[in-house]
A = this chain, B = another copy of it.
Amino acid sequence: MALRFRPVDSAFYQLFAEQAQHLVVGAALLAEMLAEGSDKDDVAARMRAAEHDADETTHALIRRVNSTFVTPFDREDIYALASGLDDVMDEMDEVVDLILLYEVKMLPAMLSQQVEVLQRCAELTADAMPRLQAMQSLEEYWIEINRLENAGDKNHRRTLAHLFSGEYKTIEVLKLKDIVESLEAAVDAFEKVANIVETIAVKES
């Protein structure tokens, strides 16, 4: 490994870890939203609060990049990682939002499998962020996220086939398809974060 002439400003790593913690909260709220008998309005309100907290952390990161002369890794990579993490939150928030907005009463049970993928991705991401500082043991993280994204893609395709199986009214298909696609977009957003981490790790190694 090459010598690193970058300063150790641990605030950046703490903020990335904080962003990822918001994603753990968001994924748990998604699971709650899908649970039978949950108070959907209450879950949605807490999701909005979580999304707001995530925004605050993102802005704190951006402000720190703009006011720091030498950053721990390339400025544009910090932006990319911060906005990548923020995108995950936005996609998860969108899922909750659409369920409420479209007044969907019956959600296909198989959606839970996709939410489990999201919860696992969130945990792995939260685990990986503190390891950015030493740039160590990150490979297992992005390999596992890529594996989960493949599993998520299979769930997604199975769910789409189910939606078009003739069991649902067309208007319900239209609603559920949007929700299912937002779930898939959230999984993809986790993969994008993992790709950014890989790019950073390769550059810095």
| Chain A interface residue number, banded | 10 to 19
Chain A contact surface mostly: helix
Sampled A-B contacts (20; CB under 8 Å)? A66-B202, A97-B157, A101-B157, A101-B160, A101-B161, A101-B164, A102-B160, A102-B161, A102-B164, A103-B161, A103-B164, A164-B171, A164-B175, A170-B170, A170-B171, A170-B174, A171-B173, A173-B174, A174-B174, A174-B177
Seen from chain A, the residues whose Cβ lies within 8 Å of a Cβ on chain B are 66, 97, 101-103, 157, 160-161, 164, 170-171, 173-175, 177, 202
Top 6 closest pairs, chain A to chain B, by CB: A170-B171, A170-B170, A102-B164, A101-B161, A101-B157, A66-B202
